[in-house]
Amino acid sequence: MVLALLKYGLSRRYPVREEIPRTPDLKNHYDVVIIGGGGHGVSLAYHLATKHGITNIAILEKGYLGGGNTARNTTVIRSNYITSQSIKFYAASMRLYESLANELDYNLMYSRRGQLTLSHSDGVSRALRLRADSGTFLGERNEILDRQQIKELVPSLNLDIEGRPILKGLWHPDAATARHDAVAWGYAIRACDRGVELHQKTQVTGLTVDRNKVTEVQTNRGNVSAGAVVQCVAGHSSVVAAMAGLRLPIRSFPLQAMVTHPVKPFLNPMVSSTALHCYISQSARGELVIGGGSDPYELYNTRSTLDMKESLAASALEMFPFIGDLKILRQWAGITDMTPDYSPVMGRSPLDNYWLDAGWGTWGFKSTPASGFYLAQAMAEDRVPEMIQPFRLDRFDTFDLVNEMGATAASH
């Protein structure tokens, strides 16, 4: 042990292997340029490289790998949506997540906890029933629990919240959580293994559009040309799209979250309440992750505000009154790109070789495997698969919306 420590500690060749290669020089041309090195960008690169043999890819990331909104989400994986289009898509993403650690040979700390969504009124109980039945119809596991069953499932939950007693619950046993950083790292490592170039600290500053095509991508490290360009920049979708001369149906709001200091495990399922605009889960470290506070006006700033933290804490205390003495350890905000129907905008743009992966709102993490899988298929075959057709940008021209309002506890 001591000898081994000395041997490796003094060796110049240690660590043996850098899993993420250092940022190489930019080439003049790539088959595909991916703007944004977050979960979605590296997932897309991984799927293009492994499933379609396209490896001449540059991922341009203005900060560091997975350091944007990938690092800022609250890591819930679930499929209990409202419309059949969304349920099918997020179910596909859940299936990919289930086997992802094996596929990438990388520990994602994937943990199937189940999610309990609470109802405090008859109206919400009906909405939960709709979500349960829609999911069941498509083969997803969902059930409606009564108060007794909720009590057995989460004994620590306060069922008799004053003015808002808990009436029913939507139980989604296959919901899970995973480590967000590891998802980005795992995809990036395996994509780079196959020759994909990850360019960190490389900010896209402009796009040259000529004859309805993006011909050149300008960055702070030089310009590159590309066969196809795709934007995967959650939180800055409208800003990057504007460089290509596009306007999107997106408005960006911060979503605030926080964690408490760690305590012994007492909460296995993830608990969520749409009426209280709050969701809680306990991380593998024992911290309580409390999320769901959307700011009331548009902003590109990830500051935290006291009133939002107070309202999140108040809602959490309604559900679990005994956590009143816990201290808040960390707080943060991510920028959520909200669309009018709360569904993403992905697939073709009005430009010939420019693709979109945007508008994920509060659902970017759970869609990471499936968005990369299906967008890679669309780009490689130049044909948008049926699975993601409903999320096309021009659905707004025909008022063909995929309404998912209320499919989350985040307050928007």
Partner 1 sequence: MHCPLNGPRNISEFICYGEFHNHPDPDKTSDKDWAEYVWLANNAAGVVREWWCHTPTNYWFIAERNTVTDEILRTYPSEDLRPSEELRS
Binding interface with partner 1 (CB under 8 A): 236, 238-239, 242, 247-252, 296-301, 303, 307, 340, 396-399
User: Minimum distance from CB of 204 to partner 1 (Å)?
Assistant: 14
Q: In DSSP terms, which residues pair with 115 in a beta bridge?
A: 172, 270
CA distance linking residue 32 with residue 362, whole number of Å: 27
The smaller minimum CB distance to partner 1, of residues 197 and 337, is found at 337
User: Minimum distance from CB of 314 to partner 1 (Å)?
Assistant: 14
The smaller minimum CB distance to partner 1, of residues 54 and 250, is found at 250
User: Minimum distance from CB of 396 to partner 1 (Å)?
Assistant: 4
**CB atoms < 10 A from the CB of 263, how many?**
14
The smaller minimum CB distance to partner 1, of residues 126 and 303, is found at 303
3-state secondary structure (DSSP) of residue 345: strand
The smaller minimum CB distance to partner 1, of residues 8 and 300, is found at 300
The smaller minimum CB distance to partner 1, of residues 184 and 358, is found at 358
Query: Which strands sit side by side in the sheet containing 270-273, from one edge to the other?
Result: 143-145, 168-172, 115-119, 270-273, 278-282, 288-294, 251-260, 328-338
User: Minimum distance from CB of 360 to partner 1 (Å)?
Assistant: 15
The smaller minimum CB distance to partner 1, of residues 189 and 308, is found at 308
What angle (nearest 5°) sits at the alpha carbon of residue 245, between those of residues 241 and 251?
A: 40
Helix (H) / strand (E) element for 124: namely helix 122-137
CA distance linking residue 45 with residue 51, whole number of Å: 10
User: Minimum distance from CB of 246 to partner 1 (Å)?
Assistant: 9
CA distance linking residue 371 with residue 356, whole number of Å: 11
The smaller minimum CB distance to partner 1, of residues 148 and 301, is found at 301
Nearest to 89 by CA among 364, 396, 388: 388
**CB atoms < 10 A from the CB of 313, how many?**
19
CA distance linking residue 216 with residue 226, whole number of Å: 7
User: Minimum distance from CB of 259 to partner 1 (Å)?
Assistant: 23
The smaller minimum CB distance to partner 1, of residues 56 and 218, is found at 218
The smaller minimum CB distance to partner 1, of residues 73 and 311, is found at 311
Under 8 Å between Cβ of 152 and 146:
no
User: Minimum distance from CB of 302 to partner 1 (Å)?
Assistant: 10
Cα distances (angstroms) measured from residue 148 to each of 121, 166, 167, 170: 17, 11, 10, 13
User: Minimum distance from CB of 151 to partner 1 (Å)?
Assistant: 35
User: Minimum distance from CB of 77 to partner 1 (Å)?
Assistant: 28
Cis peptide before 15 (omega within 30 of 0): yes
